[in-house]
Amino acid sequence: MPAGPLRPADEGRHAASAAERWSFSLGRVGIDSSLVVHVTLVAAEQRASFAAAVRLEPDYAVVLVAADLPMPRRGLELRGPGIWADHNVEEPLERWSLGLEAFGVGVEVGSDVDLDVLLAASGTPELRGDRAPLGWDLEWTTTAPPERVGPDGYRVECRVEGELLTGAGARELDGPGERSHHW
């Protein structure tokens, strides 16, 4: 049962939540996505995790997983060895900005591989690759009304715009995407 209309405060952290997750994607969630980002806060363990995958070529992606980051005091700025990631609500229910400076692992993957499945397999010995610099300055701007997903979550269709930085240089991104939040 939905818990009523979304409020601007729903975009931020929920102190009473044991675990909370924000997800961002460029492209449709699933095989069509070319970028996925997940930020998870686990209050009981005072830790955060960051996971991202970017498809740079049909058969090549960069994967980045930082599972044991310190819990940020406020907001969603995450720091750890080899990673700085920031996630900001610029205009509640309208626009988010994401920044990243990090190193991931560049891997050969099939063009039919779902990036979320790739992230789930990122801790397995089969996933091997080369160290790859990765960064971005991206915005997710709401293009449709938010939809409730259960009593403690929502998803929003968005337009994703900005710059992706890799070892091959910078490239502009502009396309449909979505973001979601569950607590």
Domain that includes residue 52, residue range: 20-182
Instruction: Say how many domains are in the chain.
Output: 1
Which tokens belong to 64?
């980045």
Per-residue model confidence (pLDDT) at position 38:
97
- Contacts of residue 176, defined as CB under 8 A and 6 or more positions apart, other chains included, come to 26, 27, 28, 143, 157, 158, 159, 160
Is residue 77 in some structural domain? yes
Is residue 10 in some structural domain? no
Model pLDDT for residues 86-131, shown as the tens digit of each residue: 999 999 999 999 999 999 999 999 888 899 989 988 876 667 899 9
Is residue 103 in some structural domain? yes
For the whole model, what pTM was predicted? 0.93
Is residue 55 in some structural domain? yes
Which tokens belong to 36?
């996925």
Percent of the chain with pLDDT over 90: 79
Is residue 47 in some structural domain? yes
Model pLDDT for residues 33-61, shown as the tens digit of each residue: 799 999 999 998 999 999 999 999 999 99
Three-class DSSP labels, the chain: CCCCCCCHHHHCCCCCCCEEEEEEEECCCCCCCCEEEEEEEEHHHCEEEEEEEEEEECCEEEEEEEEEEECCCCCCCEEECCEEEEEEEEECCCEEEEEEEEEEEEEECCCCCCHHHHHHCCCCCCCCCEEEEEEEEEEEEECCCCEECCCCEEEEEEEEEEEEEECCEEEEEEEEEEEEEEC
Is residue 156 in some structural domain? yes
What's the burial of 17, exposed, middle or buried (CB within 10 Å: 0-12/13-18/19+)? middle
Is residue 13 in some structural domain? no
Q: How far apart are CA 61 and CA 123, in angstroms?
A: 15
Is residue 40 in some structural domain? yes
